[in-house]
Amino acid sequence: MTILVHHLNNSRSQRILWLLEELGEPYQVRRYERDRKTMRAPESLRAIHPLGRSPVVEVDGHRLIETGAIMEHLVARAGNRFGPPADADGAIRYRQYMHYAEGSMMPPLLALLIIGKLGLFGRPARPTVQRMLDDHLDWLETELASRPYFAGDAFTAADMMMSFPLEASRARGGLDSSRPHLIRWLEDMQARPAYTAALAAGGPYAYA
């Protein structure tokens, strides 16, 4: 059965397309465009799910939300391809990063996005939030100093989960060549053929 991905431009759902390309799963994309003034998802997404958010994936008679949960479902469905490493430490890191990407990394990035929209009113809060994000980036830089991927020596879905917050960090959070291990990792991720194919399927993506 073909998987249907309700995909919003410049959003977390790009990671789902990437995973499906890596898995070689047949899928269909239904695209939605953000409002150019508000940058919010269109109301038509609420017809798919009451929250009106993306990604929403329809697979095997189920309608799934939440990027991490969708990824875990698709990985398990594919026999744990790109799932947790066999060693205990790698498996722990895998689970950690599958949840860390959204639970810990995204909040300061969302705060920076809001602060940027507030103009002069948001300026006093920016240094504090930037320091919070810098703590994350500094720690992640040390993590990738000792291994090529977040979970260990092999590419996994945890790397795909981490892609969006780190791409957003490079776009608006100060991630640059001063953290070479993170930049090297990002360049490696974006050079993968499945990543490129997912961009073609999803349409314009501001963070690539």
Contacts of 112 (CB under 8 A, 6+ apart): 126, 129, 130, 133, 172, 173
Instruction: Tell me the average pLDDT across 29-55.
Output: 90
φ, ψ for residue 58, nearest 5 deg: -105, 120
pLDDT at 40: 85
pLDDT exceeds cutoff 80 at 205 = yes
Contacts of 169 (CB under 8 A, 6+ apart): 109, 133, 137, 175
Q: Which token pair is 17?
A: 């397309």
CATH 1.20.1050.10-classified regions of the chain:
88-192
Specify whether the CB–CB gap between 21 and 64 falls below 8 A. no
The CATH class for the domain spanning 88-192 reads mainly alpha
Q: What tens digit of pLDDT does each residue of 163-204 get?
A: 999 999 999 999 999 999 999 999 999 999 999 999 999 998
The CA distance from 68 to 74, in Å, is 10
The CATH class for the domain spanning 3-82+194-202 reads alpha beta
Q: What tens digit of pLDDT does each residue of 126-168 get?
A: 999 999 999 999 999 999 999 999 999 999 999 999 999 999 9
Q: What tens digit of pLDDT does each residue of 173-182 get?
A: 999 999 999 9
pLDDT exceeds cutoff 90 at 38 = no
CATH 3.40.30.10-classified regions of the chain:
3-82+194-202
Whether the predicted model's global pTM rises above the 0.85 cut: yes
